[in-house]
């Protein structure tokens, strides 16, 4: 029997700035960036750009995308997919808002074969 993925309480939603990010540091790497593109919306991606592994949490959030600070790739927050013409995908994590609190699933959602954790593109 399969068990449900672990959910962890991260913070109050107000602790993530609107159009900003917060990082959940994980032992051994695999940090997760939580993005807040609007007052009541939060997305979570592995904190590595699929291009060269840049820290997405340090990028600029505009609309539903984040721009990697290293080479300017735009990544869709809802899917983790790089926006055309770029190709690649950062792992997504499920996020829930519960009474103004942010909860995160530590189990990554399934993404495309170009997933950043499968190797960073050259």
pLDDT tens sequence for the chain (122 residues): 556 668 999 999 999 999 999 999 988 878 999 999 999 999 999 999 999 889 999 999 999 999 999 999 999 999 999 999 999 999 999 999 999 999 999 876 654 433 333 333 33
> Is the CB of residue 74 less than 8 Å from the CB of residue 87?
no
Q: Which CATH architecture has domain 7-112?
A: 3-layer Sandwich (2.102)
Cβ atoms within 10 Å of 74's Cβ, excluding its own: 17
The residues with which 97 forms a beta bridge, in sequence order, are 102
Domains in the chain: boundaries? 7-112
Rounded Cα–Cα distance for residues 79 and 59 (Å):
17
Looking at residue 118, its pLDDT comes to 35
Looking at residue 29, its pLDDT comes to 75
């Amino acid at each position: 029997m399969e068990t449900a993925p672990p959910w962890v309480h991260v913070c109050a939603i107000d602790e993530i700035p609107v159009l900003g990010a917060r990082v959940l540091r994980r032992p051994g790497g695999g940090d997760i960036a939580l993005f807040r593109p609007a007052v009541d919306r939060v997305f979570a991606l592995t904190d590595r750009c699929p291009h060269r592994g840049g820290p997405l949490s340090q990028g600029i959030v505009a609309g539903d995308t984040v721009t990697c600070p290293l080479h300017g790739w735009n990544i869709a927050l809802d899917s983790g997919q790089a926006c055309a013409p770029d190709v690649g995908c950062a792992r997504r994590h499920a996020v829930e808002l519960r009474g103004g609190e942010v909860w995160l699933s530590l189990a990554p959602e399934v993404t495309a074969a170009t997933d950043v954790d499968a190797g960073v593109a050259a």
